[in-house]
Structure 1
């Protein structure tokens, strides 16, 4: 059985709601709280991409390109949310990524010098780096260490841990509510291949937008998995370039380099319901409708 606390895929991100596929096959919904908590991203590490919800970002980089850059740089990045914030498989992975960034990119700087490049103005508003530094110093004082005037590379383990804790507080790591749909008793843990995971994420993004309100997150995930497997059944048609829903809503199309593969929506749901190796919820799972909500921005975001 997989790890119930490890995120393996982002099924849906909308407003202040995140729906995740977990390593044990369950589906977890996180609502409310802060964006750093929802994404397991205590440093609010961010990778901007074109046409994201963050209109202060001006780049031609696609979402796939931004995600590839994030995954190349940091371990444990699963996805990007609508703002470009990284989603990490665990909070520990998010904390490790923040530590890596501070050491690699800001090691020769003091905390105020680091914050000038770390906490930037974006959709969340203007960054107050003076207040940020004072809050970090206060956390250091609380833990019995003085962080003032020291370069990050010169901090000992206790001081560096206090720095991370102080930044976590400023970035607003506050939990919301969590609901969990458990996997079926016969659900296996056969993982998708890297290429199937890529198609699964592509299908989840596309189908999730088109089926919001009519299908539960578990059903969207099941459809996305079936789309990924259908593409694998037709390798001669080449790499997948896109996934779409037919106008009548009855068929999923998988656009590949040399043709289009198709599977009926009902057939896709049945394929996952009947496959004992597929760690997804059944078609009979209760539907969950989510009304769009405005995102609660972090106090400061690190653009990468």
Structure 2
């Protein structure tokens, strides 16, 4: 069981460990280092990311106030203690180390501590940590654990839960009301913005769980019932309809109502689509769509690609690489925009300072560029322009239970109608993945202006160059399209066992493909099958330090499995469509080289 979060309850001396599937372990009493999985009682640093394996922190009074790290396991805590001694104190003697490791200011006695370590381990107090042999080092480590409490256990209690997500088969659905009965108590609950009901804690064995939904006829249907047991369950309730509302207009107004004019529609290409199919669906022509979207070859469109129907596509962002002699004024004039707008979109503080090779975002999509500022230099890290609560309100809108439509006059008369919108129901997150691939295609991680780590978690200190970012890339795509992300957002295998994701037996378009080998992993989106090799093609980040398409044989890691968001159904999705991996990469400005017959191609760097 892998724990991803820990909370300390001081009043009961209990640490509540939460696993990725929602199961809890309560560790109560015992010594502090046992309770916190922290054999060395390592103090918590202000920046949690600097302490590997840290999943929480707890403040205690012994008697002075101190905050200690809570690690995911005893083994992880032990490893970090050893790493700390070798990293921070390698040039210290046992005596000098203790003045920092167990300072007097924190209520310790460094001299007594050093004497105990020396006596217990048999190692002289004036010997440097770097001079210890393996046997001596182990003895010092064990002596520290003994001094810190000896890992004397208290009590452990496992608590299991039921997690319920409501979906329409493609997206989670927010604000759906349910009557939930737990034992003898009934509650009126609604799904949150991610379609989830409150976590149902199995407070006692044999507790009955009944969930009811009032249907359109006003009758209560039992949609789920179970007996609480000693296992955690993740349940998806699928609702097979959509609800829309529109204001009522007068049927025969005194003043003639304006007839409807076809407004531009944003369409995301789905797997199996062709321009002919799309044109027939919207009663237009392939030539018209191709012209409006600057498509050179009408036989080549790709899933996740943005198209505009009934209008010119002005939303396709592009990157301009600064050349020697360029100025912002020159670039702005060439691209029909202003210096101030370019500076705002790219976080450029000094309008007179741009550099050859610097990527400049050129985009007509104001909403996109204002909410996703691009760094101008490595020193200007991207800072997402997020207002408090903006993400949740956006998610609430996308996953809304009832969607409000505009009432307009019909195409052929002034009679009132409400037009049902086109909904992207096939792997909606893939449109974001493709947009990022087009935006940053051909650029290495030190030139990519989106730090996917901080776009997923603004508090983290990771960068694309110091931390593998394949998982943060896919989680960013999920987050931007209103799906839950994995709890260990930067971990490639964090989707395995996470309550927000489920494993499927066969690959489908948009599912995650997860690999692992020798403690390292990789994750990417399944896109299709290659027309030459028949292998699975994946679209992902951190593949040779960039965003691109690769074949499954391009990694040396071992397949773990295929995963999709818990709110997404794999049923009736069909098989994978066939593409040429070379053509796909060419569409995002990348030159992909296949393996030559009889020659081994160097594996793609993916971790």
TM-score norm. by structure 1 comes to 0.51
1:130 deviates by 2.0
Which segments of 5 or more consecutive residues in structure 1 lack a partner in the other structure? 49-65, 189-222, 242-254, 263-275, 280-304
CA distance in structure 2 between the aligned counterparts of 1:78 and 1:28, rounded to whole angstroms:
14
| Contact kept in structure 2, 1:136 and 1:167, CA below 8 Å | yes
Equivalent positions of 1:157-196 (< 5 A) are: 157-172=134-149, 173-183=151-161
1:10 deviates by 1.8
How far apart in 2 are the matches of 1:23 and 1:89?
12
Deviations 1:19-44 (A, max 9, x none): 11135642111111122211111122
SS at match of 1:85: strand
Query: Which secondary structure state, in structure 1, belongs to the residue aligned with residue 52 of structure 2?
Result: coil
- The offset of 1:148, in angstroms, is 3.8
Please tell me whether the aligned partners of residues 90 and 128 of structure 2 are also in contact (alpha carbons under 8 angstroms): yes
> Which whole-Å CA distance do the structure 1 matches of 2:56 and 2:133 have between them?
32
Q: Select the structure that is richer in strand.
A: 2
Please tell me whether the aligned partners of residues 238 and 258 of structure 1 are also in contact (alpha carbons under 8 angstroms). no
Q: 1:134 aligns with which of 108, 115, 126?
A: 115
In the alignment, structure 1 residue 38 sits paired with structure 2 residue 35 = yes
Distance in 2 between the 1:115 and 1:30 partners? 29
Provide the alpha-carbon RMSD of the alignment: 3.9
Deviations 1:122-172 (Å, cap 9, x if unpaired)? 56x2x112221222123214xxxx344310001111111111111111111
Q: Report the Cα distance in structure 1 between the residues aligned to 2:31 and 2:194, rounded to whole angstroms.
A: 35
Contact 1:11 1:20 (C-alpha < 8 Å) held by counterparts? yes
Partner of residue 120, structure 1: 103
Deviation at 1:227, TM superposition (A): 6.2
In 2 relative to 1, CA 228–33 (structure 1 residues): closer, same or farther, beyond 3 Å? farther
- 1:269-284 equivalence runs, <5 A: 278=499
SS of residue paired to 1:150: coil
Determine if contact 2:194/2:395 at 8 Å carries over to the other structure: no
Q: Is the 8 A contact 1:238 1:256 kept in 2?
A: no
State whether residues 20 and 29 of structure 1, in contact with CA within 8 Å, keep that contact through their aligned partners in structure 2.
Answer: yes
Distance 1:17 1:97, change over 3 A: same
Per the normalisation by structure 2, the TM-score is 0.27
Tell me: CA distance 1:278–1:45, structure 2 relative to 1, closer, same or farther (3 Å).
Answer: same
Q: Structure 1 residue 28 and structure 2 residue 28: aligned?
A: no
1:79-228 equivalences in 2 (<5 Å): 79-83=56-60, 84-122=67-105, 125=107, 127-141=108-122, 146-172=123-149, 173-183=151-161
Larger RCO, structures 1/2 (Cα 8 Å, 6+ apart): 1
Shift of 1:110: 0.8
**In 2, are the aligned partners of 1:79 and 1:86 still within 8 Å (CA)?**
yes
Cα distance, 1:256 vs. partner?
A: 3.3
Q: 1: CA distance between counterparts of 2:99 and 2:73?
A: 27
* CA contact 1:39–1:88 (8 Å) conserved in 2: yes
Structure 2: tracts of 5 or more residues without a match: 61-66, 166-188, 197-370, 372-383, 397-496, 501-607
Render the CA deviation track for 1:238-262: whole Å, top value 9, x for unaligned: 7585xxxxxxxxxxxxx33695877
How many residues align structurally?
Answer: 186
Selected match of 2:10 from 5, 8, 14: 14
Aligned equivalents of 1:230, 1:122: Cα separation in 2: 49
Looking at secondary structure, tell me which structure has more helix per residue: 1
Contact 2:3-2:19 within 8 A present in 1 as well: yes
SS in 2 for 1:82: strand
Question: Is the contact made by 1:230 and 1:261 (CA closer than 8 Å) also made in structure 2?
Answer: no
Give the aligned partner of residue 256 of structure 1. 390
Structure (1 or 2) with the larger CA radius of gyration: 2
Residues 139 and 179 of structure 1, relative CA distance in 2, 3 Å threshold: same
Identify if the C-alpha distance between structure 1 residues 27 and 106 changes in structure 2 by more than 3 Å, giving closer, same or farther.
Answer: same
Determine the C-alpha separation between the residues in 2 that align with 1:98 and 1:155. Answer: 16
SS in 2 for 1:103: helix
SS of the aligned residue for 2:104 comes to: coil
Q: Find the aligned partners of 2:101 and 2:109 in 1 and give their Cα distance.
A: 11
Q: Hey, what's the Cα distance between the residues in 2 that align with 1:110 and 1:228? A: 55
CA 1:150–1:277 in structure 2 vs 1: closer, same or farther (change >3 Å)?
Answer: closer
